[in-house]
Structure 1
Amino acid sequence: MSNPESFIDEVSEEVRRDKLYAAMRRYGWIGVVAVVGIVGGAAYNEWQKATSRTAAEALGDSVLAAISVEDPAARAEAIAAVAADGDTAAVLNLLSAAEAEGEAGRPTLEAVAADTTLSRLYRDLAALKLVLMPGAGDADARIAVLEPLATAGAPYRLLAEEQLALAYLDKGETQEALDRLQQIWLDEQSTTALRRRANELIIALGGTPDAA
């Protein structure tokens, strides 16, 4: 019985082998595609990283070259000429506006403040800088700009509160100004410098810094 059993085993093995080869011929391409996909994806990922790194280095070199220009007006123009988009462009525009003399930077700040595609961090900063510029308008105009900047969660909330206090002082509304300054004094997020300025103004206006 051993020979027949051995023969049957050999036949069964051949059948299994034939089925395996048939399956490989039929579905083997799936494995090849998977390998090519993995290798290709890794290569593309590395290429993308290298491209991004090269672009970032080129941008950094351009910014360094621009801010190294000695003349302020020429430096502002050089910064504005650096090619960028999105929030990176907003940062460059803010730098350019800071270098511009007089009213030259106002249009750039207005454009950044009005661009809703940018992060609020940069839009609010541009709006705050506009309020701080000479000729920013009367107290009511400044208050209209500052109120949204002083809402909960706003990135420059406390700085906006300080400017609101000054605007209300310009209107002669001393108590409103004191209330704003007290909020700054009592706020745990106030910096030492900001709290000191609020303290000095409260005392100058006849108030008590530790009053709730």
Structure 2
Amino acid sequence: MPDKPAPDASRRSEKSRRAIYAAALALVAETGYPKTTIESIAARAGVGKQTIYRWWPSKADVLMEAFLDLGEQAAARQGDAQGEGQPDGIPDTGDLAADLKAVLRATVDELFDPAFEAPARALAAEGVVNEQLGREFVAKLLQPQLELYVRRLRSAQDAGAVRPGVDPRIALELFVSPLAQRWLQRTAPISYEYTDTLVDYALYGLVPR
């Protein structure tokens, strides 16, 4: 009798990892972050909790990695839809206001996508009280996105559409920070009209022109 091939441990591990990602994201959406536990994630994923602890020290780390993977998969799908050769980042059509409005509208869609909203809120809230997670949240999730704005604003400076002395890192906060605050605190509705207005106020100011 021929020997059976040995099980592929890497494939088995990847299947378990994917199941854990899916379980963590689903449970946070269904029951909320406080009620999500390593035990409930393990039960939903069909693995032992020892498996989870072997790879991650806490449920926050599981959720962070699952959320990062979710974003990578979404970016890959978007890249496939756009086709090869499409640049990463904020479009540069030569019209700064239009480009910023377009990306902020896409951000609104993502913020209220059920797949993203619950884990994003959970990580943002936990990052306030968990210093290490907060640093990771900024470094791995926020900073790469903010850098896209910095690059687009610097491009606008090179084209003469933004004053040379403007600091792009501070300038982007004029429209990104109000959106984030309104989303986190649920103080008022968020719409395309709202984000378009943020861009107009940021670029053109409040004084009569």
- Taking structure 1 as the reference length, the TM-score comes to 0.30
- Taking structure 2 as the reference length, the TM-score comes to 0.31
Q: Which has the higher contact order (CA 8 A, sep 6+)?
A: 2
Q: Name the one with the larger helix percent.
A: 1
Structure with max Cα Rg? 1
